[in-house]
Structure 1
Amino acid sequence: MLKTTLLGGVLALAPMMVAAQATLTAETTTPGSTPHYIDTTLATVLESAGVASLQITEGATLTNSVEAVANGRLDMAPAPLILPFLLSRGIGPYSGVGPEKGAELAGNLRALFFNAGSAQLFGFYDSNPVDDIRSLDGKRVWNGPPRGAALTSGRAMVSLLAGGKDGETYEGIQTPWPDAVATITGGGADAWTIPEGLPSGRQIALAAAGATTIYDVPSDLLNSELGQQIMTAPGHAPYSVPVEEYRKAYAGNDITIVTDDDTFDSFATAFAQVVSADMDEQLAYDITKAMLAAEERFKTGSPRGPYLMMSFGDLDGKTQGACGAVQIKMHPGAIRAYEDAGHTVADCLKP
């Protein structure tokens, strides 16, 4: 009798067990950044949809977060796509992992969706102007945190603009993300190059200390052989916004936007929301389905919403910064969610 009673109790609870939300761990960047906005919005969407409770740690170094997802120590993280590329080869910040283990870990990563909401810019204070952005010899340029995707992109930007090399023709200044604004406003750098969403709270904070000027990549440089190499390099994607929209995003702040045509053009930092290949397929499906259904919320919940470059439609791979040097695959559950919503997914994104 006791056995029957216990079984009956379990069966009675079964519907509640099925309906219970998953509790997932995630890491993201500092508040004010595009990944932070996407992740915190996603957390709200998943909670409202009854899919999952997302416990987020802010201010993370994504180099470590991506490895933690690959190792199964973390459920989800935003991944600049250069990181899975470097991990797969065991190079750069993952040189200590080694090629063999790195390839194994990178093979454990799967994408749920993509975005390219931050684009590289170059800025300086008008009180200490850079006379020619194509000549940065001897300048102190804040070009990223001590390691990771942003530093790689920052160094690429200076190389493209002025042919400079960190530590040789100019002095690269690196600090952790939370210290970037204080370092620059405190006079620790003559200029900066940072991948930013639109509008960027960090650029507004910098301008609060004095008038600034922001440049995109001049057209001739972007269209040069080096420019195209950087544009299509692992972890990058094209980025172009009408300059008047770009200026409007910073209206009311003492920020001057300089371009050589009617668009703000640069290379974006391509991101994927990554999970482990071992994530339950139905859970991956439910997360992605909820994200797709919340398109309006993502786009209207912040001034930067329209410029997230999030993947709400068909996925060709190349536009997302994948299917080239970066060969990350999507989770089968995510693919099913896209296809059920009527979108196509390129074969190169399928496992």
Structure 2
Amino acid sequence: MFRSTILGAVCALAPIAAAAQATLTAETTTPGSTPHYIDTTLAAVLDSAGVATMQITEGATLTNSVQAVAEGRLDMAPAPLILPFLMSKGIGPYSGIGPEKGAEMAANIRVLFFNAGSAQMFGYYNSNPVEDIRDLKGLRIWNGPPRGAALTSGRAMIQLLSGLKDGEGYEGIQTAWPDTVGTITGGGVDAWTIPEGLPSGREIAIAAAGDITIFDVPSDLLASKLGQQILKAPGHAPYSVPIEEFRAAYAGNGITVVTDDDSFDSFATAFGQIVPASLDEELAYQITKAYLAGEERFLTGSPRGPYTRLSFGDLDGVSQGACGAVKVKMHPGAIRAFEEAGHTVADCLRP
């Protein structure tokens, strides 16, 4: 991981005003990812509004970041919503914590806003094609980092496509996020499955080493019993983008996109921008207010902006992936900002 501090011009031009700004510690994923784009844009928005300066550590493992927020050691992080769920049960990457302590820690997490812009996809190099994505037996497949939400989703994708489980029919390869591209371009795997925003800088970097083909989830598999279970699983949300828009996002980069209909359909990783429950209510309000006011900047600041699926309107909880098995709550200051802007907030999101 490495740290980049987002410093504002306001600090240089108006030191008196800057003195009123809060300083927030935050962790995010690697550059080129949807969470990284959202966090760095949020940092710029908060600085421009004079609300806060964000000190962001990049390349973080979000499993650890979510725990740091829950423990009050970190001010903010993007959280795949499956992680607070697993923490509340004391299972998966949080099995060492146990259910009682896990539930206590998860109750200390609050959400400011939501997004679901990273869709699971499957890919391979055209020079080493997979003959049938439903027959992946014997292959070495990069399916996520060593632990966490992306690995859970990656394993689900391969099971949905081929019926195979990691280590039982195929060999799952995991590396830390900063090593993902190098592992794939270095020839260490036959294929990969990754949750990606649109367009993905990571897929473009992978394609720089040779033309690639990426797939969505075939319609019949997505409509199957297992497909519907995965769509409704904690931390997931439906994802669909018109295929021409999806292909246009990768035009000129040596990336072929294959679907069986007129849209790219998959399951998205549902995210919440989390803070500790103890975060000052006025500060949470000001952060969320600035976020809502910065909608145009989020949507137009990058080609991926329109596809981040950030929450700028009414919040029903279900569409955000938060009011089923996942029971995260919003911060009261964030609720106040949404309602002040004229948006409704579902009761299931209220602490």
Structure 2 length-normalised TM: 0.95
* Deviation at residue 80 of structure 1 after TM alignment: 0.3
- Quote the offset at 1:168 in angstroms: 1.0
Q: Report the AA paired with residue 261 of structure 1.
A: D
Aligned to 1:84: 84
Q: For residues 145 and 17 of structure 1, what CA distance do their matches in structure 2 show?
A: 41
One-letter code aligned to 2:84: P
Counterpart residue identity of residue 290, structure 1 = A
Residue aligning to 2:337? 337
Cα deviation 1:259-295 (Å, max 9, x = unaligned): 0000000000000000011111110000000000000
Residue 134 (structure 2) pairs with residue 134 (structure 1): yes
User: What is the match of residue 255 of structure 2?
Assistant: 255
* Cα distance in 2, alignment partners of residues 232 and 292 from structure 1: 28
* 3-state SS of paired residue (1:306): helix
Letter in 1 for 2:157: M
Question: C-alpha separation between the residues in 1 aligned to 2:141 and 2:35?
Answer: 24
Partner residue, 1:37: 37
Partner of 2:302: 302
Distance between the aligned counterparts of 1:340 and 1:81, measured in 2?
25
Which protein has the larger Cα radius of gyration, Structure 1 or Structure 2? Answer: 1
Task: Please give the alpha-carbon distance, in whole angstroms, between the structure 1 residues aligned to 2:106 and 2:261.
Answer: 40
Aligned to 1:13: none
What is the root-mean-square deviation in Å for CA atoms of aligned residues? 1.0
- Take 1:17 and 1:330, find their aligned partners in 2: how far apart are those partners? 29
1:1-351 to structure 2, matched below 5 A, reads: 20-351=20-351
Secondary structure at the residue paired with 1:170?
strand
What amino acid does structure 2 have at the position aligned with 1:110?
R
Amino acid aligned to 1:227: G
Q: Are the counterparts in 1 of residues 18 and 50 from structure 2 also a CA contact under 8 Å?
A: no
1:89-137 Cα shifts (integer Å, max 9, x gaps): 1110001111110000000000000001100000001111111100101
Aligned-partner residue type, residue 148 of structure 1: G
Alpha-carbon deviation of 1:251?
0.5
2:169 counterpart SS class: coil
Q: Which residue does 2:6 correspond to in 1? A: none
User: Matches of 1:338 and 1:224 in 2, distance apart?
Assistant: 37
Q: In 2, Cα distance between the equivalents of 1:319 and 1:219?
A: 21
By how many angstroms is 1:74 displaced?
0.3
1:26: how far off?
A: 0.3
Provide the C-alpha distance between the structure 2 equivalents of 1:61 and 1:55, rounded to a whole number of angstroms: 16
How many residues align structurally? Answer: 336
For residue 3 of structure 2, what is the aligned residue in structure 1?
none
How far did 1:34 drift?
0.4
On the 8 A contact 2:63/2:148 being kept in 1, the answer is: yes
User: Where do 4+ consecutive residues of structure 1 move more than 6 Å?
Assistant: 16-19
Whole-angstrom distance in 2 between the partners of 1:48 and 1:17: 11
Structure 2 unmatched ranges of 5 or more: 1-15
Counterpart secondary structure, 1:297 = helix
> Distance between the aligned counterparts of 1:43 and 1:187, measured in 2?
36
Q: Which amino acid aligns with 2:120?
A: Q
Find the aligned partners of 2:126 and 2:17 in 1 and give their Cα distance.
60
Percent of residue pairs identical: 80
User: Residues 18 and 36 (structure 1 numbering): CA distance in 2 closer, same or farther, change over 3 Å?
Assistant: closer
